[in-house]
Structure 1
Amino acid sequence: MTKFRVRGGMPLAMLSAAVATATVLAGCSTVTGGNDPKGAANRLTAAGTYAIESLDPHGAQGASTGTQFAGQAIFSRLVRPKPDGSLTGDLAKSWRANDDASEWTLTLREDATFSDGKPVTANDVVASFKRMMALDGPNAGNFPDYTMTATSGTEVVIKAPAPDAAIPGKLGLFYVIPADVKPDDTKFFDKPVGSGPFTVERYTPGEALVLVPNKKYWGKRAELGQVTIRNIPELSARLTALRTGEVDVVWGIPDDQLPALQGEKRLTVKTVPSTAVFTMWFNSSTRELADAKVRRALWQAVDFETIIKQLYPKTGTLADAPVAPVVLGHAAQSPVGHDPKAAQAALKAAGFDFSKKLRLQFANAEFRPFIQAVASDLAEIGVKVDALEKEQAVFTEDLLALKWDVNFQQLATPTFDAASNLGRLYTCAAKRNGYCDSKLDGLLAAAGSSTDEAERVKLYGRASEIIWRDAVGMFPMAVGIAYAWNGALEGFTPDPSGLPDFSTVKITGS
Structure 2
Amino acid sequence: MSTKDIRRRRYLQLVGSGSVVGLAGCSGGSDPGGTSGDSGATGGEGGSATSDTEGEGGSGAGSMGGHLRVGQNRTVSTISPIMMGSKFTERWAVKLFYSTLTRLDHQLQLYGDLATDWSANESADVWTFTIRDDATFHHNGETVTASDVAATFNTVYDSEVGSPGSGTMGDIGTVEAKDETTVEFQLDGANSDFPKLVAKGWGAVVPEEIATDSSRRQELGSKEFGSGPFELESFEAGNQVTGVAYDDYYGTDGEGTSRPYVDRVTARTIPEGSSLVNALKNGDIDIIWEPPVDQWGPLQEASGVTTGRVPAGNIVNFIMDVSVEPWSDERVREAVKLAIDRQAIIEGVLSGLGEEAQDAPLSPSYEYFAEVEGRPPERDLEKARQLLADAGYPDGFDLEDDFDITFFSAADPPERLRSAVLIKDQLSEIGITFEIEQISYDRYINDVWTKAPCYMGMYGMRISGANFMKLLLHSEGGWNGESHFSNEEFDEAITTAVQSTSSEETSQAMATAQEVVAKQGPYAIPYYDDQIGAMREYVQRYNVSPLSYLFYADEIALGSGAPTR
Deviation (angstroms), 1:10 = 4.7
Q: Specify the SS of the correspondent of 1:172.
A: coil
Distance 1:314 1:355, change over 3 A: closer
Q: Specify the SS of the correspondent of 2:528.
A: strand
Q: Specify the SS of the correspondent of 1:180.
A: helix
Letter in 2 for 1:485: M
Distance 1:146 1:419, change over 3 A: farther
Aligned residue in 2 for 1:169: 196
The answer to whether the 8 A contact 2:494-2:510 is kept is yes
Q: Is the counterpart of residue 409 in structure 1 residue 458 in structure 2?
A: yes
Aligned residue in 1 for 2:230: 198
The structure 1 residue matched to 2:250, chosen from 215, 218, 222, is 218
* Greater displacement, 398-407 / 232-241: 398-407
Letter in 1 for 2:166: A
How big is each residue's C-alpha offset from its partner over 1:343-365, in whole Å with a ceiling of 9 and x where there is no partner? 23322432457232451323425
How big is each residue's C-alpha offset from its partner over 1:152-179, in whole Å with a ceiling of 9 and x where there is no partner? 1100111123322111111111221111
Aligned residue in 2 for 1:42: 66
Aligned residue in 2 for 1:419: 466
Aligned residue in 1 for 2:384: 343
The structure 2 residue matched to 1:304, chosen from 327, 339, 342, is 342
The answer to whether the 8 A contact 2:39-2:110 is kept is no
Q: Is the counterpart of residue 446 in structure 1 residue 496 in structure 2?
A: yes
The structure 2 residue matched to 1:476, chosen from 523, 526, 533, is 526
CA distance in 2, matches of 1:303, 1:271: 24
CA distance in 1, matches of 2:542, 2:427: 42
CA distance in 2, matches of 1:395, 1:183: 26
How big is each residue's C-alpha offset from its partner over 1:36-58, in whole Å with a ceiling of 9 and x where there is no partner? xxx9x832322234322322233
Alignment of 1:315-330 (within 5 A): 315-320=353-358, 321-330=360-369
Letter in 1 for 2:545: D
CA distance in 1, matches of 2:279, 2:38: 45
Deviation (angstroms), 1:240 = 2.6
Aligned residue in 2 for 1:378: 427
CA distance in 2, matches of 1:421, 1:498: 16
The answer to whether the 8 A contact 1:281-1:407 is kept is yes
Aligned residue in 2 for 1:28: none
How big is each residue's C-alpha offset from its partner over 1:267-313, in whole Å with a ceiling of 9 and x where there is no partner? 11121122433333323333332222212211211101232144435
Deviation (angstroms), 1:244 = 2.6
Aligned residue in 2 for 1:456: 506
Letter in 2 for 1:371: A
Distance 1:6 1:212, change over 3 A: same
Aligned residue in 2 for 1:31: none
How big is each residue's C-alpha offset from its partner over 1:188-245, in whole Å with a ceiling of 9 and x where there is no partner? 3311111111122222333322222223322233232332212222222222322233
Q: Is the counterpart of residue 5 in structure 1 residue 40 in structure 2?
A: yes
Deviation (angstroms), 1:462 = 0.7
Letter in 2 for 1:362: A
Instruction: Tell me the TM-score normalised to structure 1 length.
Output: 0.88
CA distance in 1, matches of 2:129, 2:437: 44
Distance 1:261 1:454, change over 3 A: same
Aligned residue in 2 for 1:361: 409
The answer to whether the 8 A contact 2:274-2:295 is kept is no
Q: Specify the SS of the correspondent of 1:229.
A: strand
Q: Is the counterpart of residue 293 in structure 1 residue 293 in structure 2?
A: no
Distance 1:386 1:227, change over 3 A: farther
Instruction: Tell me the TM-score normalised to structure 2 length.
Output: 0.79
Letter in 2 for 1:460: M
CA distance in 1, matches of 2:448, 2:280: 33
Gaps of at least 5 residues in structure 1 are 14-34
Aligned residue in 1 for 2:554: 503
Aligned residue in 1 for 2:207: 178
Alignment of 1:258-277 (within 5 A): 258-277=296-315
Distance 1:59 1:254, change over 3 A: closer
CA distance in 1, matches of 2:214, 2:171: 18
Q: Is the counterpart of residue 207 in structure 1 residue 255 in structure 2?
A: no
CA distance in 2, matches of 1:269, 1:60: 30
How big is each residue's C-alpha offset from its partner over 1:417-448, in whole Å with a ceiling of 9 and x where there is no partner? 21331122211222342222233222211211
Deviation (angstroms), 1:103 = 1.1
CA distance in 2, matches of 1:402, 1:169: 29
CA distance in 2, matches of 1:432, 1:172: 25
- Same amino acid, percent of matched pairs: 24
CA distance in 1, matches of 2:444, 2:170: 24
Aligned residue in 2 for 1:75: 98
Q: Is the counterpart of residue 88 in structure 1 residue 115 in structure 2?
A: no
Distance 1:438 1:471, change over 3 A: closer
Letter in 1 for 2:128: T
CA distance in 2, matches of 1:307, 1:97: 44
CA distance in 1, matches of 2:489, 2:137: 45
How big is each residue's C-alpha offset from its partner over 1:445-492, in whole Å with a ceiling of 9 and x where there is no partner? 121111101111110111111111113211221221121111122222
Q: Is the counterpart of residue 112 in structure 1 residue 151 in structure 2?
A: no
CA distance in 2, matches of 1:389, 1:55: 27
Q: Specify the SS of the correspondent of 1:259.
A: helix
CA distance in 2, matches of 1:269, 1:249: 10
Q: CA RMSD in A?
A: 2.4
Letter in 2 for 1:343: A
Distance 1:489 1:389, change over 3 A: farther
Deviation (angstroms), 1:186 = 1.8
Distance 1:391 1:119, change over 3 A: farther
Deviation (angstroms), 1:407 = 2.6
Q: Specify the SS of the correspondent of 1:408.
A: strand
CA distance in 1, matches of 2:242, 2:525: 36
Deviation (angstroms), 1:262 = 1.9
Q: Specify the SS of the correspondent of 2:166.
A: helix
Alignment of 1:97-108 (within 5 A): 97-108=120-131
